[in-house]
């Protein structure tokens, strides 16, 4: 089994159809195929092979506009997103409001592996509080599970994909089991200074957690832990782990990693799943709808071959939607299934984002040294004000973590621009001297906060608009509540205090929360829209992502999340997908599916 044509897919029979090949689809297909299930994966984007397509070592100067972003390549010329972005040609979406503050923007990656080819690899676990937020403060919804239900799956995902970090035992910031995490990279100078000065403000700074191999995976120990009693899976995984190199600390992860040192579905989940012989993949396969059997169960899906425009129907015992939260919502709404609760499309969430940059004189004119490290944070700050919040001192609910960065990474367009606020503007020799002096002395602090689901944030089918395939599109409604705006305001004052404590300066003063908060969708952490729960009247699925209405329909992407904790969602999506897939396998073995 391998990459096959749309026409060949019609002829075969499968246990499970998985729609989408990103974090959720990749994890689902991996877990199912390693245990023997025959899986057909349908991916709307084109085939993409990181080993041959990743522009890892190209300099920005070699690219048009020196690699700067354009509407077609918003994250720069070399970015791994070969198809997709804020707009996908011929596949529009809309917002119900003309007010930019109430509009939602939607990033989509149309390619094998989805957004995992580019993502930031920040891999934080939800903590105990994050599963019971309503019980703590009366807002939002509790999950139909506890941290203890998901903890073993966090361990499994971390061992499989490779996550660096440390166990610091801070409140609501869970430890991984011993032997799970890889060692964190050494802090950069800017990290050390931040940690030293933040400590004076009682703000913790600890090693970050990211899906990057700081050393090779233990191919002897880990396969046995991940697939006990399954010799075939152990052998495949052991062989595959040996093909993944450790990070060499030099290139931008957002372009992807041809040596497979970071997590992309295309480099970590799909190769071993294909090696089982149990996975077929059809790319350029745009799923339009789930089809129904006469008994009300899912029969299969209808998809459109993007290359020919032809429509195909495929069938399986189980259908899994893993097309990214809002695409899965769209498929459900277009199919008219799984919505007896009326909750499909409701309670969509993003992450709260706001940031401030500053210039730190102490970091000027540093002796030349290589501090590239892994391309992303080495240290970060988890939310630290639980007690103050419980005591009612903050004026908003929930919290945020801080991602910060500085140092001298590969210069790109804009690296020496915007210095005028420091030196009043220079040119010629003076400009070059100043560029060298200031290069590496800029730091940026970004807050990533929890959004509480609310009634004003939902997606519905647009009454008339259709995409180029004739599929109805999504129309978004959006409104931040006072809690998210309060977080953004708190981020601004806190970051200004940290920069001040570092002896730094800022181009402009901190903004009020309403101005500082990023537009909905900008952080690209959208989840929700098909919430899990204990009550079929109030939720779309059970805690395994299994539809209440259609027992053989599962959703394994972020659509089922009941809250969007400040922790970036992808590790949780993968842990849920692993858990859901094990449940599916169990039901299939019992012939209940
Ligand atoms: C720049 C950036 C940085 C990010 N950084 C982080 C981070 O540091 N940490 C973190 O936790 N998260 C991060 N994210 C978010 C992360 O990428 C997503 O949470 C994650 O990829 C979600 O996985 P998914 O499988 O649900 O969706 P995706 O990865 O988007 O995959 C969905 C796939 O389904 C396909 N698809 C869609 N519709 C259909 C259809 N109708 N038929 C067939 N196929 C379909 C798509 O083409 C796509 O390949 C980041 C995202 C971006 C873009
Ligand atoms: S920094 Fe490391 S993980 Fe990232 S692309 Fe470069 S080698 Fe790969």
In this predicted model, what pLDDT tens digit does every residue of 99-153 receive, in sequence order?
Answer: 999 999 999 999 999 999 999 999 999 999 999 999 999 999 999 999 999 999 9
Q: Is 257 in the pocket of ligand 2 (CB under 6 A)?
A: yes
Segment (H or E) for 224: helix 221-226
d(CA 247, CA 286): 34
Q: Distance, CA 107 to ligand 1 centroid (Å)?
A: 9
**Which pLDDT value is given to residue 495?**
98
* Tokens describing residue 93: 């979406």
**469 neighbors 304 (Cβ within 8 angstroms):** yes
Asked whether 472 and 462 are in contact (CB, 8 A), the reply is: yes
pLDDT value of position 415: 73
Task: Report the SS3 class of residue 161.
Answer: helix
Query: Residue 413: what pLDDT?
Result: 73
Judge if the beta carbon of residue 50 lies within 6 A of ligand 2: no
Ligand 2 atom at minimal distance to the Cα of residue 248 = 7
pLDDT at 372: 83
513 Cα: distance to centroid of ligand 1 (angstroms): 28
| Closest ligand to Cα 253 | 2
Residue 556 reports pLDDT greater than 80: yes
CA–CA dist 519, 451 (Å, integer): 12
How remote is the CA of residue 22 from the centroid of ligand 1, in Å?
6
The 3-state DSSP class for residue 578 equals helix
Strand (E) or helix (H) holding 254 = none
Average pLDDT over residues 185-206: 97
The least confident of 241-245, 408-412, 569-573 is 408-412
- What would the pLDDT profile of 156-172 be if each residue is shown by its tens digit? 999 999 999 999 999 99
What is residue 310's predicted lDDT score, i.e. its pLDDT? 96
Helices (H) and strands (E) in the chain, counts: 16, 17
Q: Give the largest CA-CA distance in the chain.
A: 78
For residue 11, pLDDT beyond 90: no
Does ligand 1 come within 6 angstroms of the Cβ of 114? yes
How far is it, in rounded angstroms, from Cα 298 to Cα 320?
A: 10
Atom of ligand 1 nearest to the CA of 107: 53
> How do residues 388-438 score in pLDDT, each as one tens digit?
999 999 999 999 999 999 888 777 777 776 788 888 889 899 989 998 899
> Quick one: pLDDT band at residue 446, thresholds 50, 70, 90?
very high
In ligand 1, the atom with minimum distance to the C-alpha of 112 is: 49
Can you tell me the distance from the alpha carbon of 523 to that of 448, in angstroms, rounded to the nearest whole number?
8
Which ligand 1 atom is the nearest neighbour of the CA of 265?
29
For 475-487, write each residue's pLDDT tens digit.
Answer: 999 999 999 999 9
How far apart are the C-alpha atoms of 212 and 123, rounded to whole Å? 10
16 CA to centre of ligand 2 in angstroms? 33
pLDDT over 90 (residue 206): yes
CA 209 to ligand 2 centroid distance, Å: 15
Residues ≥6 apart with Cβ < 8 Å to 589: none
Q: Which atom of ligand 2 is nearest to the CA of 372?
A: 1
214 lines ligand 2 (CB under 6 A): no
Protein residue whose Cα sits closest to atom 5 of ligand 2: 253
The 10s digit of each residue's pLDDT in 522-550 is 999 999 999 999 999 999 999 999 999 99
Query: Which ligand is the nearest neighbour of the Cα of 545?
Result: 1
pLDDT classification of 317: cutoffs 50, 70, 90: very high
Name the band, by pLDDT with cuts 50, 70 and 90, for residue 370: confident
Q: Any idea which of 261-275, 401-415, 483-497 has the lowest mean pLDDT?
A: 401-415
Residue 496 is encoded by which pair of tokens? 């200004």
Predicted pLDDT at 585:
98
DSSP 64-97: GGGG---SSSTT-TT-S-SSEES--TT---EES-
Q: Give the span between the Cα atoms of 117 and 351, in whole angstroms.
A: 20
- Residue 503's region, left for phi above 0, alpha for psi from -120 to 50, else beta, is left
Measure the CA–CA gap between 455 and 359, rounded to whole angstroms. 40
Q: What pLDDT does 1 receive?
A: 52
In this prediction, residues 89-105 reach a mean pLDDT of: 97
Phi, psi torsion values for 199, nearest 5 degrees = -60, -35
> Which residue minimizes the CA distance to atom 2 of ligand 2?
247
Does residue 573's CB lie within 6 angstroms of at least one atom of ligand 1?
Answer: yes
CA 591, 43, 269, 23 dihedral sign is negative
């Amino acid at each position: 089994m391998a990459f096959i044509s749309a026409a060949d897919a019609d002829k075969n029979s499968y246990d499970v159809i998985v729609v989408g090949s990103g974090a959720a689809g990749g994890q689902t297909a991996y877990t199912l195929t390693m245990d023997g299930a025959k899986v057909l994966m349908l991916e709307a984007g084109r085939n993409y092979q990181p080993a041959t397509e990743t522009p890892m070592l190209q300099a920005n100067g070699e690219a048009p506009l020196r690699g700067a972003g354009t509407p077609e390549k918003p994250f720069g010329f070399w970015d791994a997103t070969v198809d997709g972005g804020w707009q996908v040609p011929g596949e529009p979406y809309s917002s119900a409001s003309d007010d930019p503050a109430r509009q939602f923007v939607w990033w989509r990656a149309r390619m094998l592996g989805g957004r995992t080819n580019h993502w930031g690899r920040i891999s934080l676990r939800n903590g105990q509080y994050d599963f019971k937020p309503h019980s703590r403060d009366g807002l939002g919804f509790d999950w139909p599970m506890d941290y203890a239900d998901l903890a073993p799956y966090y361990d499994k995902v971390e061992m499989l994909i490779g996550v660096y970090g440390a166990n610091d035992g801070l409140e609501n910031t869970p430890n991984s089991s011993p032997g799970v995490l890889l060692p964190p990279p050494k802090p950069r100078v800017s990290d050390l200074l931040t940690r030293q000065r933040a400590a004076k403000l009682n703000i913790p700074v600890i090693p970050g957690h990211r899906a990057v191999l700081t050393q090779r995976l233990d191919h002897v120990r880990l396969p046995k832990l991940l697939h006990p009693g399954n010799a075939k899976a152990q052998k495949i995984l052991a062989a595959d782990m040996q093909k993944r190199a450790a990070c060499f600390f030099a290139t931008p992860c957002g372009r992807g990693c041809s040596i497979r040192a970071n997590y992309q579905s295309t480099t970590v989940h799909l190769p071993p799943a294909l090696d089982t012989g149990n996975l077929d993949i059809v790319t350029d396969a745009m799923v339009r709808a789930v089809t129904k059997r006469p008994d009300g169960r899912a029969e299969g899906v209808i998809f459109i071959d993007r290359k020919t425009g032809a429509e195909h129907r495929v069938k399986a015992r189980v259908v899994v939607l893993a097309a990214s939260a809002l695409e899965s919502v769209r498929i459900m709404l277009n199919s008219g299934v799984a919505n007896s609760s009326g909750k499909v499309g409701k309670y969509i969430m993003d992450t709260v984002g706001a940031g401030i940059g500053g210039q730190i004189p102490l970091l000027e004119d540093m002796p030349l040294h290589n501090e590239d490290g892994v391309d992303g944070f080495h240290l970060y700050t988890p939310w630290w004000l639980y007690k103050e919040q419980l005591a009612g001192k903050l004026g908003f609910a929930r919290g945020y973590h801080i991602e910060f960065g500085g140092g001298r990474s590969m210069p790109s367009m804009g690296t020496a621009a915007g210095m005028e606020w420091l030196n009043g503007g220079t040119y010629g020799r003076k400009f070059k001297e100043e560029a060298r002096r200031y290069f590496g002395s800029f730091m940026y602090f970004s807050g990533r906060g929890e959004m509480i689901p609310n009634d004003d944030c939902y997606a519905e089918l647009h009454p008339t608009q259709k995409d180029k395939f004739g599929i109805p599109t999504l129309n978004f409604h959006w409104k931040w509540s006072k809690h998210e705006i309060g977080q953004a305001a708190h981020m601004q004052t806190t970051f200004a205090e940290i920069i001040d404590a570092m002896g730094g300066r800022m181009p402009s003063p901190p903004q009020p929360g309403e101005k500082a908060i990023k537009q909905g969708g900008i952080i690209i952490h959208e989840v929700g829209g098909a919430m899990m729960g204990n009550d079929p009247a109030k939720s779309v699925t059970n805690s395994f992502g299994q539809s209440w209405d259609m027992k053989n329909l599962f959703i394994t992407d972020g659509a089922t999340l009941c809250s969007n904790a400040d922790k970036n969602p992808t590790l949780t999506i993968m842990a849920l997908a692993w858990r859901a897939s094990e449940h599916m396998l169990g039901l299939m073995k019992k012939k209940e599916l």
